[in-house]
Structure 1
Amino acid sequence: MTETRDTKIKRLRMRSMRRGIKEMDLILQAFADENLNRFSDDALDLYDQLLSENDHDIYGWIGGQIAVPEPYLNLVTKIAAGAQGVTRPH
């Protein structure tokens, strides 16, 4: 059975707010709420792939401590832009 767009967005929102570390809950939930409805289907697929990555890796990418893999570079850049103050104090 194929997942509808609305169901996929709901699933991705849930996965965004139920992460392994609290900082990722805060960062990804805010990002998902702000952006997922506007994403293309391809962008939703990429975000879904990102959510399968290790939280500590994603947090390092967002905080700039670890180089971001090329497929995620633009997406992580967008996420990081809204994460100031959560990954590092202002």
Structure 2
Amino acid sequence: MERETRLKRLRFRSWHRGTKEADLMVGGFFDARGAHWSDEQIDWFEAFLEEQDVDIMAWAMGAAAVPARWQGQMMDDLKTLTYVPIQK
């Protein structure tokens, strides 16, 4: 599949998780970083999106240990949470 098509699909899946909180976290992460990802990082994110929102959020916020499969720079970037828009 063409890179741009993959990215469009990932953007949609990132922003349609099922809860607003997960949309902001996962969608915000994709919007902030996705355009610069390598093919390997895109593969990682595609697989990562199969995980449950509650698990992704717990890992990102440090409430649960990150499984070895997901540990690395991508998870470290996700855990910064600096990409989540805060409305005042």
The interval holding the TM-score normalised by the smaller chain is: 0.7 to 0.9
Asked if the contact 1:16–1:51 (Cα under 8 Å) also holds between the matched residues in 2, the reply is: yes
Query: Quick one: which of 16, 30, 33 aligns to 1:18?
Result: 16
Q: 5 Å matches for 1:26-65?
A: 26-65=24-63
Q: How many residue pairs get matched?
A: 84
Q: 5 Å matches for 1:61-80?
A: 61-74=59-72, 75-80=74-79
User: 1:7-66, CA deviations, whole angstroms, 9 ceiling, x for partnerless residues?
Assistant: 000100101000022111001111111111110001000000110001111111011111
TM-score normalised to structure 1 length: 0.84
Asked if the contact 1:18–1:25 (Cα under 8 Å) also holds between the matched residues in 2, the reply is: yes
The runs of 5 or more residues in structure 2 that have no matched partner are none
What CA RMSD, in Å, does the superposition of the two structures yield over aligned residues? 1.8
Same amino acid, percent of matched pairs: 35
TM-score normalised to structure 2 length: 0.85
Matched residues in 1 for 2:84 and 2:8: separation?
26
The runs of 5 or more residues in structure 1 that have no matched partner are none
Counterpart code for 2:80: A
